[in-house]
Structure 1
Amino acid sequence: MSETVHPPEGLALDPDAEDLDTPETQHLPLDAWHRTRGGRMVPFAGYHMAVQYEGIMAEHLWCRENAGLFDVSHMGQLVFTAEDGVDVAQALEAVLPGDVTGLGVGRMRYSLLLDENGGILDDLMVTRRQDDIYMVVNGATKYDDIAHLLDHLPDAVTINLQDEQALLALQGPKAVDALSRLMPGVEALVFMTAGAFEWQGTPLWISRSGYTGEDGFEISLSAESAEAFAEALLAQGEVKPIGLGARDSLRLEAGLPLYGHDLNAETTPIMGDLGFALSKRRREAADFPGAAHILAERENGPASKRVGLLVDGRQPVREGATVVDEAGAVVGRVTSGGFAPSVGQPLAMAYVPTALAQPGTALRLAQRGKIHTGTVSAMPFIPHRYVRIGGK
């Protein structure tokens, strides 16, 4: 294929981006490592980050077929502990709609930080560990998340932002082969489970999870050990470094929303097609923020809903494009879009009226004065390849 895959919105390849070294733009622990390997650095979520190395198309396809190493150390790693007999998991249920108290040790769950109206402040992963609760939140929102959590959790709950920790993601069908050579036993993990490991005296927290739709792992470790561990992974023939550009095209094909684009405080879990994040016990108790509004939407349907789109032709439609009716009136909005290397055509996500959200519905899309056509599609656009209990 000869298509050009562009970086996601907010990751424009500014020729001067590598010189943007302002006090507001921070450097991640592996900054020099990325540059040495040809990483094209751009400012994103307050950090200098590698958007690509050899090219987004090649990196995307490598990850789908082999194993890609992503540096996602900009994400917020939070650890929750409590004093005075306070149950941390129970306290977190005041701000999350998922069943946190029911999580077993080493089990993790996708959840949402909700405001009082049921709007999504962030999406996140929460894991119960032996002595604490570990949470990974989005990099661009982590400080706002912490402020919200401090306002809504008991004073007895302590939040530790682990800014001394790096976070690496190893994704792809051969990720388990590469990682298990360094970390025997990691292959016993299944999707959405995690555990403590050690590599050359360095403690690691490893989960079998990710943001590409592929099998893979996320590895939390000390920043000072991150470069040596990354080098050990790259010494495995299956592994190459992958930038944020391919991470975006991979997650789009997998139908995974990006906070700040496909989700925000104006969207609810039902609008965002994330109803699975509302556990049965919590729905029945209706004891989470915005429960009355969210449960009414679940029962009656939201006014609009996030859908996937197969875009006709070869030209992608991108965030900011609109969904229009025959008369040209705006009825919806595109929130993510790009060319999908593994699918072989442009894809998008959009919010449309619920009446137009059925798969197979033809839509008109307006971008820069030009009309494109597309069809509502079920998501994910390609099958997820997570390794679950009992096999794939």
Structure 2
Amino acid sequence: MDLALPLDSLHRELGGRMVSFAGYAMPIQFEGIIAEHNWTRTQAGLFDVSHMGQLVFASADDVALETLLPGDITGLKAGVLRYSMLLNDNGGILDDLMVTRREDDLYMVVNGATKHDDISVFRAAGLNPQYRDDWALLALQGPLAVAVLERLAPGVGSLSFMRGGAFALLGVPAWISRSGYTGEDGFEISVPNDAVEPVARALLTHAEVRPIGLGARDSLRLEAGLPLYGHDLTPAITPVEAGLAFAISKRRKVEGGFPGATHVLDQLLNGAPKCRVGLKVEGRLPAREGASVVAAEGVVGTVTSGGFGPALGAPIAMAMVDAAHVADGTALGIDVRGRILDATVVPMPFFPKSYVREGAPR
């Protein structure tokens, strides 16, 4: 039986169409996926991402975390977020995550479907993270998100992308970071469970804000070229193959010391046998996960995510493709139930990201 999130009753009150996701009952849509997608691109969308795992580590755990993650954790400054990955002994991705150094601890957000497995890996390595299931997580995304949130938590507009801080929100403590997984400017807001409904309702009183479900969350991240764990990222895919080599910090590329380092660093030096690519699909028929990618010699890859890009007005996909066929402009085919769709390898993101980076005008 699916677990209920703290906002379950509000989702149902707002007409959310509920589905099972990562062991929870969650809204896949409210008004409709395309409408919610386009609203987030132009206004501000409110997402409930409380199914994600929020973990807290001791500050001194940074050294031990580097034996599991390829990022520079010891060098993190207070208030800075870092995207990283939990790796297995072959360099395969067990999960992708965000880790932040706060004043007194390290705060980590991991994927909902893998959080308990992640905790087991951390504990096996001698770490003892606190699983903060007493805190909920919201994401407010879109170009008007900052104007709305600034009214309720003055000062959040001073944050730049991948920065976070402690704020008072409706009189309760909140950890707010300028981050998200839509490609839009926006924020992730961590608050105690008993405060999340008043916070959500307060945000929804603003005309710029509407509730958004899982469907639009997926189409937004696809247009942004952002990989989804369990689809574009798996234990059989390395960071290099996934196109995430940027998450291997410069010092770690020299020192190694993370799981599968020998294999991963060899791929960095000599190339990987396969890579994640973006595909523009001709016509209107979308290519879905699992479809074969073909070239003249036969099958050369597999679609890992695919669908219709509402802001683009065309179908798009991400695929894991043999290295010989990953150059931008390469013509390929996608086998959709025996019908071959023409596709072209294109750069990602498919839709421009709108992050407000440090030093950018606000």
The TM tier, using the shorter chain, reads over 0.9
Distance, in Å, in 2 between the alignment partners of 1:158 and 1:319 is 36
Match among 152, 155, 160 for residue 185 of structure 1 = 155
**1:1-392 mapped onto 2 (5 Å cutoff):** 22=1, 25-81=2-58, 87-152=60-125, 154=126, 157-326=127-296, 329-391=298-360
CA drift at 1:369: 1.4
- Answer yes or no: is the 8 Å Cα contact 2:152–2:170 preserved in 1: no
- Distance (Å, rounded) in 2 between the aligned partners of 1:379 and 1:57: 21
- Following superposition, the deviation at residue 326 of structure 1 comes to 2.8
Which amino acid in 2 is paired with 1:362?
Answer: A
Q: Partners of 1:197 and 1:281 in 2: how far apart?
A: 33
Tell me the secondary structure at the aligned position of residue 264 of structure 2: helix
1:4 aligns to what?
none
Identity of aligned residues (%): 60
One-letter code of the match for 1:173?
P
Shift of 1:81: 1.7
Structure-2 residue corresponding to 1:5: none
Quick one: distance in 2 between partners of 1:317 and 1:326? Answer: 19
Instruction: Give the whole-Å Cα distance in 2 for the aligned partners of 1:207 and 1:88.
Output: 21
2-side partners of 1:323 and 1:199: how far apart? 48
CA distance in 1, matches of 2:292, 2:261: 30
Question: Secondary structure at the residue paired with 1:125?
Answer: strand
Give the TM-score, by structure 2 length.
Answer: 0.98
Residue segments in structure 2 that go unaligned for 5+ positions in a row: none
C-alpha deviations, 1:162-220, integer Å up to 9, x for none? 00111000000000000000111010000000000112331100000000000000000
Secondary structure in structure 1 of the residue aligned to 2:114:
helix
Matches of 2:88 and 2:235, distance apart in 1: 8
Secondary structure, in 3 states, of the residue corresponding to 1:298? helix
Aligned to 2:120, what secondary structure does the other structure show?
helix
Distance 1:52 1:281 in 2: 43
Distance in 2, Cα, partners of 1:304 & 1:142 = 27
Report how many residues are paired. 361
Measure the CA separation in 2 of the matches of 1:67 and 1:266.
36
SS of structure 2 residue aligned to 1:49: strand
Structure 1 runs (4+) deviating above 4 angstroms are none
3-state SS of 2:129 partner: strand
Instruction: Note the C-alpha offset of 1:158.
Output: 2.6
Question: What is the TM-score normalised by the length of structure 1?
Answer: 0.91
RMSD: 0.9
CA distance in 2, matches of 1:222, 1:301: 45
CA distance in 2 between partners of 1:53 and 1:187 (Å): 28
- Partners of 1:94 and 1:358 in 2: how far apart? 34
The secondary structure found in structure 2 opposite 1:146 is helix
